[in-house]
Copies of this chain bind each other. A is one copy, B any other.
Amino acid sequence: VRAVPIALDAFGGDHCPRAEVEGALIAAREGHAIVLVGDRAPLEGILGQLGASPELPLRVHHAADAITMEDSPAKAVRQKPDASMPVCFDLVKRGEATAVVSAGNSGAMLACGLFKFGRIKGVERPAICTRLPNENGYFQLLDAGANIECRPVHLGQFAVMGAVYHAIVSGIARPRVGVLSNGTEEGKGTDLTRAVDRVLRQTSDPSFQYVGYVEGSIFRGACDVAVADGFTGNIALKIAEAAGALLVTILRQEVGKSLRVKLGGALMKPAFARARRESHPDHYGGAPLLGVKELAIICHGSSSPRTIATAIGQAAHLVQKSLGPALAAAVAAAEPLFEAARAVEAQEPANP
């Protein structure tokens, strides 16, 4: 008996479908079962070119249409039902696949997750959970952009879900959660962060330990999970990526300026590669959408074949570790925390 496969959206990323087909082949050779979803003719053409063996646990499922980065997220579900992305979600719903992996439109992934999978009981807002490096390894940042305006209960749910996810991937039993803010002193933050901080201080939860406000300290290991509304979280994520990239660009410019530095750069190359490794999606895969009933993993649009293959392995691992049931159980157990958050909201009419 073959394993139930991971559904890979072959028409998602910037380099689709080539990067997706190559990634699927790598993952299939690593033993993962995959259903490659998209327009059959070009997919079979590329598989033929690449000499894919029919023995591999890889098959094509035809989907005539594709969602582009320019499409509005709602279109994903309503106007393009036969696009490769929603068809992946349909396969999981019918039990023909266990999870979705896509490097496509992340807003459309959220819409498909909400409308096709539905939310886990008790979850008000699913969140995109991204991984960032710190001095000791890595931490999770959520929400990375699914929910622009949030209420305190949403951040409380991000804390629980991020902690469950981090526990599974890192093995840490009760991860440390912080609230991203503009300083750690009392009185800092917005109405939202102050309300969340008060609730997390007063109501403990079995899934995580609360460590208070965090800021730049997240990169020095201040917490395992940093929670924020999706606007703040998305900006933090993009600023972190771009600031790191700038430093590498400036060093590269310097390397071009003298033979001495060029030699130093050549000698340091393996160090740069290792420094990059922990923060590179080739190494860890994609960002799960946490809070929907089945697993969906969102990869960078620019994903390489190796990133796609890693994300397929990541999806298979999370399914095997029962991420979905673990999230549902933790959310159910955290009802006292969410009730406390809703009570604080009721006192503060200023919240959206």
Interface residues, chain A, CB within 8 Å of chain B? 133-135, 145, 148-149, 180-183, 189-191, 215-220, 230-232, 234-236, 238-251, 254-255, 257-258, 260-261, 263-272, 274-275, 278, 350, 352
Contacts and interface: CB of A to CB of B under 8 A. Distances in A.
A258 to B, nearest CB: 8
B241 A239 contact: no
Nearest to A132: B243
B239 A135 contact: no
Contact of A268 (B250, B261, B352): B261
A314 B306 CA distance: 49
A220 B191 CA distance: 33
Nearest to A185: B70
Contacts of A261: 267-268, 270-271
Given A234-B182, A235-B232, A271-B261, A190 B247 contact: no
B254 A271 contact: yes
A235 B251 contact: no
A235 B190 contact: no
Given A190-B231, A239-B240, A275 B260 contact: no
Copies of this protein chain in the complex: 2
Contact of A251 (B238, B243, B250, B275): B275
A267 B274 contact: no
Given A236-B236, A247-B275, A254-B274, 13 more contacts: A145-B183, A181-B235, A182-B230, A182-B234, A216-B238, A216-B239, A219-B243, A244-B244, A254-B268, A254-B271, A260-B267, A260-B270, A264-B268
B265 A268 contact: yes
A240 B265 CA distance: 24
A234 B264 contact: no
A135 B182 contact: no
Contact of A242 (B219, B264, B265): B219
Contacts of A270: 254, 258, 260-261
Contacts of A232: 231-232, 235
Contact of A264 (B216, B266, B274): B266
Contacts of A255: 268, 271
B236 A134 contact: no
A234 to B, nearest CB: 4
Closest 10 CB pairs of A and B: A264-B267, A216-B242, A254-B271, A264-B268, A182-B234, A216-B238, A219-B246, A240-B243, A219-B242, A250-B275
A152 to B, nearest CB: 16
Contacts of A257: 271
A180 B236 CA distance: 11
B242 A217 contact: yes
A53 to B, nearest CB: 39
Contacts of A249: 135
A191 B229 CA distance: 14
Contacts of A145: 182-183
Point out which of A182, A219, A243, A265 has the most chain B C-beta atoms below 10 A from its C-beta: A243
A298 to B, nearest CB: 14
B246 A133 contact: yes
